[in-house]
Amino acid sequence: MTLCIDTEKLVRDAVDLSIREVFSMMIGEELSQNVVDGHDSLPPSPNKAEPSMTVLLGFTGDIQGSLSLSLSEHAAIHWTHALIDHETEEVDQTVIDAVGELGNMVVGGVKRRLAGSNLTMSLPTVIRASESSLVFPTSIVPIYIRYGFARHQMTFVIAIRSL
């Protein structure tokens, strides 16, 4: 079963606008968009060996699926430092909480932008895994959007289930 292209575009645009808004408002950084729409396979990540963190968020309602935001540990540390001026060279609980908050802020923007879709969003869950570790059932074709900021990279994975 294929998902309506309009729904994909609606969700993709909501994610894009939300993450750009969060980075601009919270840490004053603009994002560059490196890769959009890796429908058939995950675009190769330049730093596959670098440890990564992923924040997972599920949603139900008129649209069902999940959003995942993966970033390297260095990118997570940079985000945390820019957000709350936290000094660290390794992932600690503050970094994990800041990445979870990044997910919360982005999903809040997505929910606001998709208000007509009657969405219920889950709380963010932060795990140590990269986007290449995520797997989906054959009925879901994930959309990959890669962003760059401050010489770091992060990947948003949108997985929408057809209703």
Q: Domain 5-161's class?
A: alpha beta
Strand partners, 157: 68, 144
Confidence of residue 73 (pLDDT cuts 50, 70, 90): very high
Answer yes or no: is pLDDT of 46 > 70: no
Answer yes or no: is pLDDT of 40 > 50: no
Helix (H, G, I), strand (E, B) or coil at 59: strand
Helix (H, G, I), strand (E, B) or coil at 162: coil
Confidence of residue 17 (pLDDT cuts 50, 70, 90): very high
Single pTM value for the model: 0.86
Q: Which amino acid is at 126?
A: V
CA distance linking residue 22 with residue 25, whole number of Å? 5
Cα 97–chain centre separation: 15
pLDDT at 1: 41
